[in-house]
Chain A
Amino acid sequence: MPGVWVLGENKNQSLELLSAGRPMADRMGVHLTSLVLGGREEAGDHIAGGADEALVLPPLAEDQSLDALILVLVQEAREVDPDLFLIASTYRLREVAARVASLLKTGLCSETLKINFTENYRSVEMERLLYGGAAVERVVCLTRPVMATVPPGTYEQAPIDPAREGQTREMKETPRSPCKVLERRARERRTRDIREARVVVCVGRGMEKKEDITLARELADVLGGEIAGTRPVTEELHWLPEDLCIGLSGIQIRPDLYVGLGVSGQIQHVTGFRDAKIICAVNRDANAPIFGVADMGIVGDLYDVVPKLIGALKK
């Protein structure tokens, strides 16, 4: 029985993938199956969100992580032979997806931003970014199943229809992985989720020292926003927590206003805020690439410009 499969790490991610998978399944004339990590009690929500079948994955022992499910998924995929398998692009599921694809000897499109049919509906075509976001690539998968990881937030969640009916099936296998979880630690969150901020003031390497971040903070306060950083400022210098790293390999944001202070505009960073409504930048270097992607820019020393900006904004 072919079909479209979706797998999210939580219900919200599954609902997003269900809304991506539903039209594909309809057009192919196949069932839409949601693989449920949250146990049997969650199955109904997946069906209400558009799944024809909720396939409840077996529970994991306390010392097991999601990689324990790889062989279970592969075995089921070999039996069912799905056409398309969409997986939420989270840290752990990206690894699971690549390893499942390897065992199924098939292709996997990572960080897929669009899924469509080619002309004549012959095959599935996917879009993703290349070269840090400088280019868009369209790919097709030459083998079955077509697999794709999709970043959370790419699709809206599917509407819930409590009256929808579907089948629920529970998998019984007891999965084991040789990797043992010794400990799970909540990651220290010193900040609000930056994705929710209306205005983001972003600190780049043009900032001379850690203490000067207060300048960015003041500007953010006046604008009613939050501060974030580029990869060097967060992951390398640790001036700001890595949860605030904006970019392709960090967090992608869509604020109303992005203000880059001393940000050069490396493409991987720009990809993290390319959908912001308005992009502004302050940089000494008139040739900095950031000015090529900004709506408005001030060419000048941020230590001179930012206090003036704060003053003008307060008026």
Chain B
Amino acid sequence: MPELVVCFKWVIDEAYIRRTSAGGLDFSSVDYKISEYDRNAIEAAVCLRDACGGSVTAVTVAPPEASKGVKDALSRGPDRAIFVSDAIFKDLDSSQTAAILGEVLRGKATFDLILCGEGSGDAYAQQVGPRLAELLSIPCASYVQKLRIEGGQVIAERKAGDFTEVLAIPMPALVTVLPDIASPRIPGVKDTLMASKKPVETIGQSELGEMPEARLKTVEVRASRMERECEIFTPEAADVARFVGALQKKGVLK
């Protein structure tokens, strides 16, 4: 029965990021969430377990504040979690996150298949999954839309642009999945209660090797600009006619 691992990221909910008048970003009222793509990955892992047996371990690398995210992840069906947590695990680049996950998974977990979301909701670099596969020297397929385990292999359908490739991948393997792999559940009260009873192994930086160095350095982050007129019309017939007139003037009608 397959041992499944699903990686997730606890990210800033970008809906709460404000733009300052100086063009900077105001994070003062932000909330956090499990990256959307990863919720679907968690659901895919749980569905696979329900179909094939085995177990699901959810793993994240984050500062201690993300313990809420670990509980959230567990309320979505995994059997246990590994919380790789340290105050210095902030603003990691993809190569660092992958290196830390690699070290943890090599030593702490047995796995047949690792699932990751296609990318994270904040940086969307889409690198941690493929990098992790390379660090663990296991085969990898990205942007998978359908997945099953058959005869000790993973059969994965992945998007390749204008066509789909169906791959047979020997296990252990890693896949990154697109959101349509599975729709995430909305955890109920019972799920949340059960989540608090599930085992969580917390691993700090001191239990790992040297902190991996960043390969990319951020020089600047600024708010992206979208300056539009924002003229508002009412649904009254006269206003709708005025709206159409304005479109005409802008030269975008045939």
Is B114 an interface position by the 8 A CB rule?
no
Chain B interfacial residues counted at CB < 8 A: 83
Chain A contact residues, majority secondary structure: mixed
Alpha-carbon gap, A136 to B84, bound state (A): 29
Alpha-carbon gap, A159 to B215, bound state (A): 34
Is B109 an interface position by the 8 A CB rule?
no
Alpha-carbon gap, A67 to B175, bound state (A): 13
Knowing A91-B159, A142-B217 are in contact, say whether A297-B235 is a contact too (CB < 8 A).
Answer: no
Asked if A280 contacts B247 (CB within 8 A), the reply is yes
Asked if B230 contacts A181 (CB within 8 A), the reply is no
Alpha-carbon gap, A315 to B161, bound state (A): 41
**Residues on the A chain within 8 Å of B25, using CB:** 131, 134-135
Could you mark each residue 209-249 of chain B with 1 if its beta carbon is under 8 Å from any beta carbon of chain A, else 0?
00001111111111110101111111101011101101100
**Residues on the B chain within 8 Å of A114, using CB:** none
How many residue pairs, one in A and one in B, have C-beta atoms under 8 Å apart? 266
**Residues on the A chain within 8 Å of B98, using CB:** 102
List residues of A (265-311) whose CB comes within 8 Å of B's CBs.
266-268, 270, 274, 277-280, 286, 289, 291-301, 304-305, 308-309
Alpha-carbon gap, A43 to B161, bound state (A): 23
Contact-residue size bin, chain A (C-beta under 8 Å from the other chain)? 35 or more
Shortest CB distance A173–B (Å): 19
Knowing A102-B95, A277-B252 are in contact, say whether A140-B217 is a contact too (CB < 8 A).
Answer: yes
Alpha-carbon gap, A1 to B163, bound state (A): 37
Is B160 an interface position by the 8 A CB rule?
yes
Task: Please pick, from B135, B179, B215, the residue contacting A143 in the complex, using a CB distance under 8 A.
Answer: B215
What residue of chain A has the Cβ atom nearest to residue B184's Cβ? A236
Shortest CB distance A204–B (Å): 15
Can you name 6 A-B pairs with beta carbons within 8 Å? A130-B124, A186-B162, A248-B124, A295-B231, A298-B233, A301-B235
Q: B residues touching A (Cβ–Cβ < 8 Å)? A: 12, 14-15, 17, 19, 25, 37, 93-95, 98, 118-119, 121-127, 129-131, 133-135, 139-143, 155, 158-170, 176, 178-180, 183, 213-224, 226, 228-235, 237, 239-241, 243-244, 246-247, 250, 252-254
